[in-house]
Amino acid sequence: MISNEKVITADKLTKKFGPFVAVDQISFEVNKGEIFGFLGANGAGKTTAMRMLCGLSLPTSGTATVAGFDVYKENELIKRNIGYMSQKFSLYEDLTIRENIRFYAGIYGLSDQRIKEKTNLLLKQLSLEGKEKTLVRELPLGWKQKLAFSIAIVHDPAIVFLDEPTGGVDPITRREFWSLIYEASEKGITIFVTTHYMDEAEYCNRVSIMVDGRIDALDSPANLMKNFSADSMDGVFLQLARKAVRNE
């Protein structure tokens, strides 16, 4: 459910590495419960922008708050109040399903009682009851990704950042993954997601497209397609990304 409460506010947020402007004065807001797609070609500045919003990298200039906390002064509080998952880093392969849940929930400071409740709830939601002692390594990729997402929101964060969560996953599991995203959003968790699958961009409430460090478009997929006279987000993306002059 989308409300008017702002979970992210960014105003002229900028990151420079020497003379190179990786992120160039981006300004946008994301509402509570919104599914926000963060698109851009390789090298457009998405990762750098995401690292600032996650409290992992200090901006050069501009302002931003995430979950109500300032990215300059309260980055430790940001880390505690967000979830993060990427395809590259998610779970510990040589720990069991239960151990991974216990580990992450423990890191986020959940009580033993709460961890127990959450573990049972999560196993039930993912139909993994009876498999809690399975090593994560032995799970098919799609299951791993679904489990990783559920664990990324085990501490009920205000917002979860998903960095290409569905790469290489089969088309049915990819859609099951998006069902989990919708459910989380219904519960009021804000979703901030990057993807190379343009059909997934169309599942987002709003989408921003970065080109050469700037946000060159930000709107609902329907409006973007209308404004760019394209019949899919693929068409919108190609028109914008082709303008890029920066060589990755």
Partner 1 sequence: MQAVVVENIVKKYVVKKNTVDALKGVSFSVDKGEIFGIIGPDGAGKTSLFRILTTLLIAESGKATVDGFDVVKDYKQIRNRVGYMPGKFSLYQDLSVQENLEFFAAIFNTSINENYALIKDIYQQIEPFKTRRAGQLSGGMKQKLALSCALIHKPTVLFLDEPTTGVDAVSRKEFWEMLHRLKTEGITILVSTPYMDEAGLCDRVALIQKGGILSINTPKGVTKEFKKPLWAVRASEMFHLMNAIKNDNAVESCYPFGQYHHVVFKNPGDDKKRLEEIIQTNHFSQTEIHSIEPNIEDCFMALMKE
Residue 83: C-alpha distances to residues 70, 229, 230 (Å): 17, 36, 34
Q: Kindly state the smallest distance separating residue 186's Cβ from partner 1, in Å.
A: 7
Residues that bind partner 1 (CB under 8 A): 40-43, 140-142, 164, 167-173, 175, 178-179, 182, 186, 196-199, 202-203, 221-222, 232-234, 237-238, 241-242, 244, 247-248
Q: Kindly state the smallest distance separating residue 222's Cβ from partner 1, in Å.
A: 7
Name the residue nearer to partner 1 (CB basis): 69 or 178: 178
Q: Kindly state the smallest distance separating residue 59's Cβ from partner 1, in Å.
A: 23
Residue 11, C-beta contacts closer than 8 angstroms, at least 6 positions apart: 27, 62, 63, 64
Per-residue DSSP letter, 133:
T
Match 């169309």 to its residue by tokens: 202
Is the separation of the CB atoms in 21 and 213 below 8 Å?
Answer: yes
Is the separation of the CB atoms in 181 and 149 below 8 Å?
Answer: yes
Name the residue nearer to partner 1 (CB basis): 30 or 241: 241
Is the separation of the CB atoms in 28 and 10 below 8 Å?
Answer: yes
Q: Kindly state the smallest distance separating residue 174's Cβ from partner 1, in Å.
A: 8
Name the residue nearer to partner 1 (CB basis): 26 or 244: 244
Name the residue nearer to partner 1 (CB basis): 91 or 244: 244
